[in-house]
Structure 1
């Protein structure tokens, strides 16, 4: 097979700047959330509020998820070796999938605790304490979500972190509302109802992350990438008369790869290096940074059955 491409130097520079920016965002998120988890858990234990305790537990899972995501980004910078020829880029996909699984586990715990408390007698909880702690949560989670907002559509791992933080801010808003209602009405059962509502919100936000990360784990074509559009783009290069056996998959949450068989016109055989260069440039605009081509000439026949 023909060799694969090398990114342009400006692309490396932009990628390095992005990684440094995200490193800072993850570190800020981890420090702020660890601090908030300690405060919220203490308030939940002292007040007996299930809503605060479940939110603290969810925030703790966020800290673990952010730490793993940061580790994955560090690993993407590690060099490849004989055992891992692509390096450790795929760890970002593993972390995204793990994030979704952790969130599903958190949902199960919240639902179990909320239903158990609703069946038994709802315990009195101080609405004022709930309000002030949850307001702090809105500020911290909202700020952390803002740090990831710019890059959330470019990287599934960042999207996972953004979802965690945005959902947490929304959850804290729900806790504020329940705290206010409890404070003025004494409806203590509302604490458990809000916990169930939290679980539903988390489930909705998590399903998309789970589906997208599972797709990448199974080497599926990355979301929003049209395989037919890619085929059409490959055929635009002068000298390429047919394209088949096209495979596209994700190396990480930010890098995609392609392999393809290209049928080259007899008159263009000597121009294959030029064709490769042209195609790699075209593919970079389609978010494919690693490409490998197998040339076939019109007089030869592909020996691979799937062709």
Structure 2
């Protein structure tokens, strides 16, 4: 015998399912970060053009892509709150995963553009005002550092926020590198330092983007979310009282903040299904899986559907 969980087998927001939405305050944080970074991009681009600094222009281009990324994450938060419909039964929560993938692709394109322009600068180095570069990049350290501090708390629970946090943290280090480059140019007059620093910037961006890209791809393909150990989850379920076996386990991400699971559970006591179900969902919620569908079977179930 087996019993489908149906509505009782799910954890819903009004009956045990804890959807983890981004707090409304994170919207305001992102809007503030977008504004201050957009202002800095404008300043950095103007100084970079005026002083012929590729490292400043590269950093400005990357910061502009980060502003766009922050804006996309803000859009993702709004879309994740769209209620489910008959056509989209999960709402638009999956858009958060698609946007994180888009952000990673945008950053990879930015890396390619920086590398191409840097290669050109190696062959035709131009005069650069090292002092202007250093002062402008120093301002970037303050702006990017403030953004990192604001995003630090939220990055633990959402891949999109973590992506933004990692990018801005990398930008802070990059700005520090540009400061050093400006000082080195001022002291040595070696303008080739500018494209060298641009290449280093590209490598930092690539390193910070790779994890975001791989995780976004995995989630978009309904792979097991990072931090979820399938074997540990299976053992966790098996260890519950009245559970004899578990199979057909599937774990995936509904959004960047909500993980789901379906499984067939073999129980030794068909009369204790509700208690067993509640027990399983509690331990799964602690493991980061808040949307659970369980189908129960007895040990002597030999029908084709078992």
TM-score under structure 1 length normalisation? 0.93
Q: What is the match of residue 6 of structure 1?
A: 12
| Among candidates 33, 38, 61, match of residue 37 of structure 2 | 33
Q: What is the match of residue 269 of structure 1?
A: 270
Are the equivalent residues in 1 in contact too, given 2:17–2:291 (CA < 8 A)? no
| Among candidates 188, 192, 216, match of residue 185 of structure 1 | 188
Q: What is the match of residue 200 of structure 1?
A: 203
Q: What is the match of residue 85 of structure 2?
A: 81
Q: What is the match of residue 281 of structure 2?
A: 280
Report the 3-state secondary structure (helix = DSSP H, G, I; strand = E; otherwise coil) of the residue aligned with 2:23: helix
Deviating above 4 A after TM superposition, structure 1's stretches of 4 or more consecutive aligned residues are 7-12
Are the equivalent residues in 1 in contact too, given 2:69–2:164 (CA < 8 A)? yes
**195-204 vs 21-30, which moves further:** 21-30
**Residues 138-217 of structure 1 mapped to structure 2, 5 A cutoff:** 138-217=141-220
> 1:302 deviation in Å?
6.1
1:295 equivalenced with 2:301 (yes/no): no
Give the number of the structure with larger relative contact order, counting CA–CA contacts within 8 Å between residues 6 or more apart. 2
CA distance in 2, matches of 1:139, 1:9: 45
Report the 3-state secondary structure (helix = DSSP H, G, I; strand = E; otherwise coil) of the residue aligned with 2:247: strand
Kindly provide the CA deviation profile for residues 71-116 of structure 1, in whole angstroms up to 9, marking residues without a partner as x: 1011111111111111111111111111111111110000000001
TM-score under structure 2 length normalisation? 0.93
**252-261 vs 86-95, which moves further:** 86-95
1:68 equivalenced with 2:72 (yes/no): yes
> 1:252 deviation in Å?
1.1
Are the equivalent residues in 2 in contact too, given 1:92–1:253 (CA < 8 A)? yes
> 1:10 deviation in Å?
11
CA distance in 1, matches of 2:265, 2:98: 32
> 1:298 deviation in Å?
1.7
CA distance in 1, matches of 2:222, 2:106: 22
> 1:236 deviation in Å?
2.3
Are the equivalent residues in 1 in contact too, given 2:17–2:290 (CA < 8 A)? no
**Residues 229-240 of structure 1 mapped to structure 2, 5 A cutoff:** 229-240=232-243
Aligned-residue CA RMSD in angstroms?
Answer: 1.9
Are the equivalent residues in 2 in contact too, given 1:19–1:73 (CA < 8 A)? no
Q: Which runs of 5+ in 2 are unaligned?
A: none
1:53 equivalenced with 2:22 (yes/no): no
